[in-house]
Amino acid sequence: MSPKTLSGIAAVLVVALIISSSFGAYYYYQYGQQSQIENHYVSDLSDAATQNSQLTSQYNSALSLSNQTLALLAQTVGVVNTSLPAYKQASAQLSGLWSSYLKLKPQSAHLYSADVLFNFGNGTRTWHNNSQIQPGWNFYTETVVLTGGNMQATWYPSFGEHLVNSIDGVSGTKTSYWIVWTYNSTALWQKAPVGADDIQVHDGSVLAWTFCGQTCKP
C-alpha cells in the first residue's frame, strides 16, 4: 500500500474519530440535560408528595373537627326549646355545617340515606328522597336539618322529647297538628308510637310528618 493511500486512510480515520467524538460529546451533553430535567421532575414530585401529605393531614383534621362540631350541635338542638336563642343559632349552624360536610366528605365516610315526606295538609307534599343522615341521628335532628331549623317545638326533659308544633311556618291548631309516621313494606304507613326524638334513623328509613287531625294519612 502506497504512502499516499495510507495517508488517505489516516485522514479518514481522523475525520471519523472527530465526528465520533463530536457525537459523543453531543449525546453526553443531551444526557446531562435530560438528567437535570429528570432530577427537577423528581424534586417537584417529592415536593408535591409532601404538600399532598400535609393537605391530607389538614383535610382529615378538618373532617374530624367537623364531626365533633356536628355532634355538639346535634346534641344542643336535641335538648332545648326552639324559642331559645341557643336553638336558633345552633340549628342554623348545624344545617349549614352539614351541607358543607356533604360536599367535602370522603367516599369512605359511611352515611345513612333516608326518605322523608312533609305533608302540609293543604295538598302540598314535599319529599326529601335519599337524604344523607349522620349515623346516630334521630328523626327530630333530621327534621331540624331538612327544615334548616324552621320549626317550633317545646322540649320536655322529663319525657326526653320535643312536642313539635310548627314546621316551615305551618302551626298546629285545636283540630290539626303534626303527626309522625313510619313506613315498612309489611305494614305500610303507621303512626309512630313514640315522638321524633325516640325514632332512630337507619339506612333506608322512610318517615313522614303530616299536618292533620286524628283521621289522616301521609
In this prediction, residue 139 carries a pLDDT of: 96
pLDDT tens, N- to C-terminus, the chain (218 residues):
555 554 555 454 545 555 555 655 556 666 666 666 666 555 655 555 555 555 555 656 666 777 778 887 888 888 888 888 888 888 888 888 888 888 877 666 789 999 999 999 888 999 999 999 999 999 999 999 999 999 999 999 988 899 999 999 999 988 899 999 999 888 789 999 999 999 999 999 999 999 987 777 78
Cβ atoms of 126 and 210 within 8 Å: the answer is: no
CA distance 152 to 166: 5
- Quote the Cα angle for 122-77-118, to 5°: 20
In this prediction, residue 42 carries a pLDDT of: 55
Q: 210 — phi, psi (to 5°)?
A: -125, 140
In this prediction, residue 19 carries a pLDDT of: 58
pTM above threshold 0.75:
no
Q: Which residues pair with 167 in a beta bridge?
A: 151, 170
What is the CB neighbour count within 10 angstroms for residue 5?
Answer: 9
3: left (phi over 0), alpha (psi -120 to 50) or beta: alpha
Is residue 45 helix, strand or coil?
A: helix
Residue 119: CATH number of its domain: 2.170.130.30
CB contact set of 121 (below 8 Å; sequence gap of 6+): 170, 176, 210, 211, 212, 216
* Residue span of the structural domain in which 191 resides: 1-218
Cell digits of residue 158: 322529663
CA distance 60 to 135: 19
Q: Which residue type occupies 104? A: L
Residue 214 DSSP class: S
Instruction: Give the count of domains, the chain.
Output: 1
CA distances in angstroms from 98 to 16, 35, 68, 83, 130, listed in the order given: 76, 50, 12, 22, 15
